[in-house]
Amino acid sequence: MNDAKVLLDYGSGGRASHRLIGELLLSHFRSPELARLNDAAVLDLRGPVAVSTDSFTVDPIFFPGGDIGSLAVHGTVNDVAMLGARPLYLTCALILEEGLPMADLERIVASLGQAADAAGVAVVTGDTKVMPRGQADKIFINTTGIGQIMVETPPSGDRARPGDAILVSGSMGDHGLTILSQREGLAFDAPVESDSACLSHLILKLLEALPDIHVLRDPTRGGLATTLNEIAGQSRAGCLIEESSLPVKQAVKAGCSFLGLDPLYLANEGKFICILPEAQADAALSILRADPLGKDAARIGTVTAENPGKVVMRTPLGGHRMLSMLEGEQLPRIC
Q: How far apart are CA 197 and CA 120, in angstroms?
A: 13
Q: Which amino acid is at 333?
A: R
The CB density around residue 239, as the number of other CB atoms within 10 Å, is: 28
pLDDT of residue 30: 85
State whether residue 215 is helix, strand or coil: strand
pLDDT of residue 94: 97
Rounded to a whole number of angstroms, the CA Rg of the chain reads 21
Q: How far apart are CA 252 and CA 296, in angstroms?
A: 15
Sheet strands side by side (includes 238-242): 215-217, 273-276, 165-168, 298-304, 238-242, 311-314, 320-323
pLDDT of residue 158: 98
State whether residue 134 is helix, strand or coil: coil
pTM greater than the 0.85 cutoff? yes
Q: Looking at beta carbons, which pairs linking 253-261 to residues 24 or more positions away fall under 8 Å? A: 254/188, 254/189, 254/190, 255/177, 255/181, 255/186, 255/188, 255/192, 256/173, 256/177, 258/188, 259/180, 259/186, 261/176, 261/177, 261/180, 261/330
> Which of 102, 89, 198 is CA-nearest to residue 143?
89
Q: Looking at beta carbons, which pairs linking 1-4 to residues 24 or more positions away fall under 8 Å? A: 1/102, 1/106, 3/102, 4/101, 4/102, 4/103
pLDDT of residue 130: 97
pLDDT of residue 116: 98
Distances (CA, A) of 281 to 50, 278, 298, 312, 319: 26, 5, 10, 20, 25
Looking at the chain, which runs of residues are DSSP E strands? 49-56, 62-63, 66-67, 85-97, 122-131, 139-149, 165-168, 215-217, 238-242, 273-276, 298-304, 311-314, 320-323
Instruction: Give the phi and the psi of residue 274 in degrees, each rounded to 5.
Output: -125, 120
The CB density around residue 22, as the number of other CB atoms within 10 Å, is: 12
For every residue of 69-119, DSSP letters joined together read HHHHHHHHHHHHHTTTEEEEEEEEEEEEETT-BHHHHHHHHHHHHHHHHHH
**pLDDT tens-digit profile, the chain (335 residues):** 778 999 999 988 889 999 999 999 999 998 999 999 999 999 989 899 999 999 999 999 999 999 999 999 999 999 999 999 999 999 999 999 999 999 999 999 999 999 999 999 999 999 999 999 999 999 999 999 999 999 999 999 999 999 999 999 999 999 999 999 999 888 888 889 999 999 999 999 999 999 999 999 999 999 999 999 999 999 999 999 999 999 999 999 999 998 899 999 999 999 999 999 999 999 999 999 999 999 999 999 999 999 999 999 999 999 999 999 987 766 788 89
Q: How far apart are CA 58 and CA 265, in angstroms?
A: 17
CA angle 251, 176, 106 (to 5 degrees): 110
